[in-house]
Amino acid sequence: MHKQLKLFLTVNSFFVLATGMLGPIYAIFVQQVGGDILAAGTAWAIFMITSGIGILFMGKLQDKIKRDKPVILIGYALMSLAFLGYFFVSNVMQLFLVQVLLGISIVVLTPAYDSFYTKYLEKGKFASQWAAWEGIWYLVTGIAALVGAFLAKVFSFKTLFLVMFFTSLIGLFLSIKLKEKR
């Protein structure tokens, strides 16, 4: 496996870890800021619809941009800001705004990181190298679920959000070392 793919898997693992910490306990957080099951579903829908529509457009734009690394850095920076945004959420409307920001980060990031990763795949090893991406995603997300639940239970959601933010910053700073294939 190319060293840039290994680095990219490491970088992305920090973001997956940060994201996965909130996933299974998200509805509990929504309830704490005054929402109900409908608010939790609406917040998730806002994120997914923003991401889905935006990615379709961003993919075409990314084909024209050609450079992946600057777009990846912007996407990861926006994601880190969204994680920090959760720290300040005190009501459902603020949560919806953070979900939009998180969706925008995914819009910016996804086509660029798919493009970057694809450019470094070794011929004849496509399946195993994409499996590395997917397998690590599931493993890290599983670990993150336990870590996030522990942090929220023992400390607080505020502590969890700061840990998510700082974890993502590690990934962001590591992503500066990525090198584009020319």
Binning pLDDT at 50, 70 and 90, where does residue 10 land? very high
Percent above pLDDT 90 for the chain: 95
Q: pTM score, two decimals?
A: 0.92
Average pLDDT of the segment spanning 23-41: 92
* Mean pLDDT for all residues in the chain: 95
Distance CA 47, CA 71 (A): 20
CA–CA distance from 141 to each of 19, 72, 104, 160 (Å)?
A: 8, 20, 21, 15
Binning pLDDT at 50, 70 and 90, where does residue 39 land? very high
Q: Name the CATH superfamily housing domain 3-175.
A: MFS general substrate transporter like domains (1.20.1250.20)
